[in-house]
């Protein structure tokens, strides 16, 4: 475990400051609406006031590179390999990044049909306008010739989602239950996500890992990046990244117990335990400790009893990469 002055993952585009309680109230209100109204209303809000006002693909492209680099670090191949992404969200930059690195195919699944074609092509337009930035971002890709070829294909891609997905070998499944997928056993090389698993209740997360053990090959890998920080602090700079650890379960459910704000608040040690209960063997974690949070915790920052007995370094861990191997294969 290490302490870093700056968070070591992808750069985050920070929207204009919003009081976290105001944001929580808006999310709670919109989250209570029927799906047909709630989904477009929240998307419109994000586009006009939130992080999608000036969309950029850099954060998730960097996340895809983070996955690729952990594959290369183990002296493993990404070429023509099969990936299963948990939590598509509104765009497909993670699968695009993996394809640019040489991946063969990606199945991306989401419980909610959030994907927006307009946003996908806005991100590709960004890459067209900033080719040098993208080229620098992918400068460590070993097969530069393949990257150059595929990047050219991406920039020339038609504004048609089906044709784009066919070109990059992407299959999108939503709504889909990641605990029970229509995916063949032992057919996936890498089970991946980026800033997704913190939004899943622990029992469901355990089932997702168990299903991952079923679909992964015997030598496959789980590679996941988890954001353990209080997400309201991303938009409200007055908050500590561990602000939400002061609340009881009932209090936190009041503020964030809806589809747009749910955060399981697992600490990194608890996350590892959930993954291992799901049947995987954790091979490595790369946690980042936030120094300001650590200092506040050491000075007696108020914590709910759920977190009060943990070491300050554990509570101050704000993100982590995890690599795990599948354990006993689930057959039913």
Domains of the chain: which residue ranges?
2-326
Model pLDDT, residue 254: 94
Span 15-25, average pLDDT: 79
Length of the chain in terms of residues written = 332
**Between 14 and 33, the higher pLDDT residue:** 33
Model pLDDT, residue 4: 42
Span 260-287, average pLDDT: 96
Span 77-86, average pLDDT: 96
101-113 residue pLDDT tens: 999 999 999 999 9
**208: exposed, middle or buried (Cβ count in 10 Å: 0-12, 13-18, 19+):** buried
Reply yes or no on whether the pLDDT at 11 is more than 70: no
At residue 16 the predicted structure's pLDDT band, cuts being 50, 70 and 90, is: low
Between CA 153 and CA 29 the distance in angstroms is 43
Span 172-198, average pLDDT: 97
Span 221-246, average pLDDT: 95
Reply yes or no on whether the pLDDT at 17 is more than 70: no
Q: What is the phi-psi region of residue 236: left when phi exceeds 0, alpha when psi lies from -120 to 50, beta otherwise? A: beta
**Between 44 and 94, the higher pLDDT residue:** 94
Between CA 40 and CA 115 the distance in angstroms is 11
The DSSP string of 172-216 is EE-S--TTS-S--TT-EEEEEEES-GGGS-HHHHHHHHHHHHHHE
Of the given ranges (15-29, 58-72, 98-112, 175-189), which has the lowest mean pLDDT?
15-29
120-174 residue pLDDT tens: 999 999 999 999 999 999 999 999 999 999 999 999 999 999 999 999 999 999 9
Span 210-229, average pLDDT: 97
Q: Is residue 11 within 8 Å of residue 59, measured between CB atoms? A: yes
At residue 34 the predicted structure's pLDDT band, cuts being 50, 70 and 90, is: very high
Reply yes or no on whether the pLDDT at 330 is more than 90: no
Contacts of 194 (CB under 8 A, 6+ apart): 60, 63, 64, 66, 67, 87, 94, 224, 225
Model pLDDT, residue 68: 98
3-state helix, strand, coil in the chain (%, to 5): 45, 15, 40
Span 42-52, average pLDDT: 85
Model pLDDT, residue 237: 86
Give the chain's mean pLDDT.
92
Show the tokens assigned to 118: 């307009």
CA atoms within 13 A on the CB side of 262: 11
Reply yes or no on whether the pLDDT at 284 is more than 60: yes
Threshold 0.85, pTM exceeds: yes
Order of strands across the sheet with 188-194?
2-3, 280-289, 317-326, 216-227, 188-194, 82-86, 105-109, 170-173
- With b for 16 or more beta-carbon neighbours within 10 A and e for fewer, the 82-107 pattern comes to bbbbbbbbbbbbbbbbbbbbbbebbb
Contacts of 216 (CB under 8 A, 6+ apart): 186, 188, 189, 190, 191, 222, 326
Query: H-type helices in 17-116, by residue range?
Result: 20-31, 35-49, 58-73, 93-101
The DSSP string of 143-162 is -HHHHHHHHHHHHT--S-HH
| Cα 33 from chain centroid (whole Å) | 25
Q: Is residue 53 within 8 Å of residue 119, measured between CB atoms? A: no
Reply yes or no on whether the pLDDT at 33 is more than 70: yes
CB atoms within 10 A of CB 217: 15
Model pLDDT, residue 328: 55
**237: exposed, middle or buried (Cβ count in 10 Å: 0-12, 13-18, 19+):** exposed
Model pLDDT, residue 10: 44
Architecture of the domain spanning 2-326: 3-Layer(aba) Sandwich (3.40)
């Amino acid at each position: 475990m290490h302490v870093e002055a700056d968070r070591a993952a992808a750069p985050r585009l920070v929207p204009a400051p919003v009081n976290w309680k105001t944001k929580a109230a808006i999310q709670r209100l919109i989250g209570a609406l029927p799906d047909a109204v709630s989904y477009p209303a929240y998307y419109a809000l994000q586009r006009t006031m939130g992080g999608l006002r000036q969309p950029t693909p850099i954060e998730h492209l960097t996340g895809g590179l983070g996955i690729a680099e952990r594959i290369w670090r183990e002296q493993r191949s990404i070429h023509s390999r099969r990936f299963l992404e948990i939590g598509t969200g509104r765009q497909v930059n993670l699968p695009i990044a993996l394809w640019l690195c040489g991946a063969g195919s990606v199945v991306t699944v989401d419980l909610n049909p959030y994907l927006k074609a307009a946003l996908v092509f806005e991100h590709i337009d960004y890459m067209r306008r900033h080719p040098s930035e993208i080229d620098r971002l992918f400068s460590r890709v070993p097969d530069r010739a393949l990257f150059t070829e595929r990047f050219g294909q991406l920039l020339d891609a038609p504004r048609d989602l089906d044709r784009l997905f066919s070109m990059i070998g992407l299959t999108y499944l939503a709504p889909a239950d990641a605990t029970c997928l229509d995916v063949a056993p032992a057919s996936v090389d890498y089970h991946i996500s980026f800033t997704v698993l913190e939004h899943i209740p622990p029992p469901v997360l355990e089932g997702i890992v168990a299903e991952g053990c079923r679909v992964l090959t015997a030598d496959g890998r789980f590679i996941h990046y988890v954001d353990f920080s209080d997400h309201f602090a991303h938009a409200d700079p007055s908050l500590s990244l561990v602000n939400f650890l002061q609340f009881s379960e009932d209090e936190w459910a009041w503020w964030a117990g809806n589809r747009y704000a749910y955060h399981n608040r697992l600490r990194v040690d608890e996350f590892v335990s959930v993954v291992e209960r799901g049947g995987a063997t954790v091979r490595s974690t790369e946690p980042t400790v936030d120094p300001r949070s650590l200092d506040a915790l050491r000075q007696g920052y108020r914590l709910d009893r759920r977190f009060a007995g943990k070491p300050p370094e554990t509570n101050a861990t704000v993100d982590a990469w995890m690599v795990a191997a599948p354990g006993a294969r689930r057959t039913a």
